[in-house]
Amino acid sequence: MIDMNKIETFLRAAETLNFSETAKRLHMSQPSVSHHIKALEQELGAALFTRASTGLHLTEAGRLLLPWARRLLHDTNNMQAMMSSIQDDIVGDLRITCSTTAGKYVLPQMAARFCQRFPGVKVRILACTAENVTLGLLEGDAHIGVLSREILDASLESQEFFRDTITLIVPADHRWAFRKVIEPGELLEEPLILREETSGTRRVVLSELAKHDIGLDDLNIFMELGNAEAIVRTVAAGYGIAFVSNLASACPLERGNIVDIQVEGLNLKRTIYMARKAQSSPHRPRDAFWSFIHTPENTDLILLPEQKR
């Protein structure tokens, strides 16, 4: 009989193509990951990965196993959820994927409160792209997804999680540091550090600038970075200006390392959404968390991103 722990290890290794990263995600040692994969290969009588100088690659057998492994893990989790649903207590596994920086600040605290309320639930929060949030929900790898755009797939349903505020930040010694407001056209003069193409922050900023006839080619893009915290540190070091989530800039603002500036006429707010599969088997941890986020005791977390720093 195949051990589902080995199946899950195989799935994570197939996603990362890196045993070290797989070990981190599963909170295991790398030798344990290698042992699980080797044992599974022996049980199935086929190699699942090839190891080369260019890295790890799925074999044909590994590619064939992948959809079956996803289905096995999905069905196993549904069976466990079904059995736990007949008990009085809410227990089980809750897997949440998150593609947005703002979500990384609110979601862990929300999940921690949820676990205090329902100690029988084990929550896992995984970072991924918006596309992988949707894919994970559809394939059953995740119960809930958090992302910065509304999902249009009819197989999924979404609700508003919270509203995020995007802030323009400049170094503390910048010539704008003592100004409260600048005009959009003044941005053209400055080296701008921008988020990557798939970023929700970037999408909102460019959409608002377009209303003032400012396009991507008009901006002096100094650098593109895929991490909000790295952008804040780079700005604080004096290398440019940037638009980031209010949540990412909060601590450096309090320390005085950076200053936030309002840009006249830009509505830099966005909605962060939570999504789940529209029609699926009952899963009490997922459904309980879906309702839990908007209970009155969590209002402080929901409003945190909109608070003025």
Distances, alpha carbon 205 to alpha carbons 63, 126, 201, in Å: 39, 26, 6
- Is 254 contained in some domain? yes
DSSP states of 253-266 = HHHTSEEEEEETT-
- Is 181 contained in some domain? yes
Mean pLDDT of the region 93-97: 94
Q: Output 2 or 30, whichever has higher pLDDT.
A: 30
Q: Do 169 and 82 have their domain in common? A: no
Assigned token pair, 183: 């005009």
- Is 225 contained in some domain? yes
Domain boundary pick from 62, 86, 110: 86
Q: Do 168 and 256 have their domain in common? A: yes
Q: Do 170 and 255 have their domain in common? A: yes
Neighbour count for residue 281 (Cβ, 10 Å): 14
Q: Does pTM surpass 0.75?
A: no
Residue 17 sits in a domain of what CATH number?
1.10.10.10
Mean pLDDT of the region 136-144: 89
Q: Do 82 and 168 have their domain in common? A: no
Q: How many secondary structure helices (H) and strands (E) does the chain include?
A: 11, 12
Q: How confident is the model at residue 87 (pLDDT cuts 50, 70, 90)?
A: low
Q: Do 168 and 70 have their domain in common? A: no
Structural domain harbouring 225: 163-270
- Is 137 contained in some domain? no
For tokens 């227990």, name the residue.
91
How confident is the model at residue 97, as a pLDDT? Answer: 92
How confident is the model at residue 264, as a pLDDT? Answer: 95
Q: Of 144, 74, 135, which Cα lies nearest the Cα of 110?
A: 144
Residues 125-129: contacts with CB within 8 Å, 24+ apart?
125/96, 125/97, 125/98, 126/25, 126/95, 126/96, 126/97, 126/98, 127/97, 127/98, 127/99, 128/97, 128/98, 128/99, 129/99, 129/198
pLDDT by residue (tens digit) across 9-22? 888 888 888 888 88
Burial of 48 (0-12, 13-18, 19+ CB in 10 A): buried
Asked whether the predicted pLDDT for residue 106 surpasses 70, the reply is: yes
Residue 170 sits in a domain of what CATH number?
3.40.190.10
pLDDT exceeding 90 applies to what percent of the chain? 46
Q: Do 79 and 169 have their domain in common? A: no
Q: How confident is the model at residue 77 (pLDDT cuts 50, 70, 90)?
A: confident
- Is 286 contained in some domain? no
- Is 35 contained in some domain? yes
pLDDT exceeding 70 applies to what percent of the chain? 95
Angle ∠(157,15,80) on CA atoms, nearest 5? 55
How confident is the model at residue 253, as a pLDDT? Answer: 81
The pLDDT mean for the chain works out to: 88
Q: Of 257, 228, 256, which Cα lies nearest the Cα of 242?
A: 228
How confident is the model at residue 55, as a pLDDT? Answer: 78
Neighbour count for residue 174 (Cβ, 10 Å): 18
How confident is the model at residue 255, as a pLDDT? Answer: 85
Q: How confident is the model at residue 82 (pLDDT cuts 50, 70, 90)?
A: low
Q: Do 258 and 168 have their domain in common? A: yes
Distances, alpha carbon 183 to alpha carbons 264, 266, 278, in Å: 5, 9, 44
Q: Do 80 and 170 have their domain in common? A: no
Residues with Cβ < 8 Å from 116, sequence gap 6 or more? none
Q: Do 261 and 169 have their domain in common? A: yes
- Is 202 contained in some domain? yes
Total domain count, the chain: 2
pLDDT by residue (tens digit) across 245-286? 988 888 888 888 899 999 999 999 999 999 999 877 778 899
pLDDT by residue (tens digit) across 20-72? 888 888 888 888 888 988 988 888 888 999 887 777 889 998 888 888 888 88
Domain boundary pick from 86, 109, 131: 86
Domain boundary pick from 57, 86, 115: 86
pLDDT by residue (tens digit) across 151-193? 888 889 999 999 999 999 999 999 999 998 999 999 998 999 9
Residues with Cβ < 8 Å from 172, sequence gap 6 or more? 236, 256, 257, 258, 259
- Is 47 contained in some domain? yes
